[in-house]
Amino acid sequence: MTMMKASDTITLVEGYDAVRVFLETVWRRHDKSVDEIAFVLGGLQWADGAPVDPAMWQDWLAAAQIAAAAGRARSKKADKAC
């Protein structure tokens, strides 16, 4: 498996799943029962093509939009500096 680069792109669904996998990995690495992470992971699971907690999908879309806007702003700032 090739490691991703910072310039690689993924879909919103792939990003959503990436956050879920990341949180689960951190949770398992610490080998503790972390109720807050377990609660979030439960809500992020897919059921019938949608997250168990639909509000988490809406929160994810909002976070992705904020992150994308911040990324565009950084790109514009970097372009002006050149």
Label residue 1 by pLDDT band (50, 70, 90).
Answer: low
* Secondary structure E strands in the chain: 46-47, 50-51
pTM of the predicted protein model: 0.65
Q: What is the pLDDT of residues 22-65, one digit of tens each?
A: 787 777 776 666 777 788 888 889 999 888 999 888 888 888 88
The SS3 of residue 51 is: strand
Residue ranges per structural domain of the chain: 12-81
47 or 68: which leads in pLDDT? 47
The predicted pLDDT at position 47 comes to 92
Sign of CA dihedral 62, 64, 67, 72: negative
Give, as one character, the DSSP assignment of residue 53. Answer: S
Q: CA 57, 11, 76 angle in degrees (round to 5)?
A: 105
**Which residue, 50, 62, 60, 46, is CA-closest to 16?**
60
